[in-house]
């Protein structure tokens, strides 16, 4: 069935360092992979997405890479800042959007 695995569940990095979150998906029929950020007390918000015909996409300090052969995609955040502390969800779309279980990112001062 349709499934998205996300790792790690918790990640702590020093402010200014990079953070990487990895996801795998079960069914190669998926063609759209969004990432959402959820801050405390709020609903998730889209921060970046990638489609299956693209291998990498960047938006300032955030980048996403996709390896369709391996059914694997990753979120990279460079030069982390305190406001990057949040829960991040990867997702894949089939006839519906399925989310991973989330990664709680802590930025340490």
Partner 1 sequence: KAGVTQTPRYLIKTRGQQVTLSCSPISGHRSVSWYQQTPGQGLQFLFEYFSETQRNKGNFPGRFSGRQFSNSRSEMNVSTLELGDSALYLCASSLTVTSGTGELFFGEGSRLTVL
- Per-residue x/- track, 53-82, partner 1 (CB under 8 A): ------------------------------
Residue for token digits 């996409």? 57
- Per-residue x/- track, 86-105, partner 1 (CB under 8 A): ---x---xxxxxxxxxx---
* CB crowding 35-70: b at 16 or more within 10 Å, else e: bbbeeeeeebeebbbbebeeeeeeeeebbbbbebee
Under rule CB under 8 A, residue 36 binds partner 1: yes
Size of the site for partner 1 (CB under 8 A): 22
C-alpha to C-alpha distance for 49 and 37, rounded to whole angstroms: 12
Q: Are strands 97-99 and 86-93 parallel, antiparallel or unpaired?
A: antiparallel
Under rule CB under 8 A, residue 33 binds partner 1: no
Residue of 27, 46, 82, 108 interacting with partner 1 (CB under 8 A):
46
State the residues that interact with partner 1 by CB under 8 A. Answer: 6, 32, 34, 36, 41-46, 49, 89, 93-102
């Amino acid at each position: 069935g349709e499934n998205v695995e996300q790792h790690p569940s918790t990640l702590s990095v020093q402010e200014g360092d990079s953070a990487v979150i990895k996801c795998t998906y079960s069914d190669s029929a998926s063609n759209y992979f969004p990432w959402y950020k959820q801050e405390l007390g709020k609903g998730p918000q889209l921060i970046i997405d990638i489609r299956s015909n693209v291998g990498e996409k960047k938006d300032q300090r955030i980048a996403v890479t996709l390896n369709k052969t391996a059914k694997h995609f990753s979120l990279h955040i460079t030069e982390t800042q305190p406001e990057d502390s949040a829960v991040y969800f990867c997702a894949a779309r089939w006839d519906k959007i399925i989310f991973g279980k989330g990664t709680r990112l802590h930025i340490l001062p």
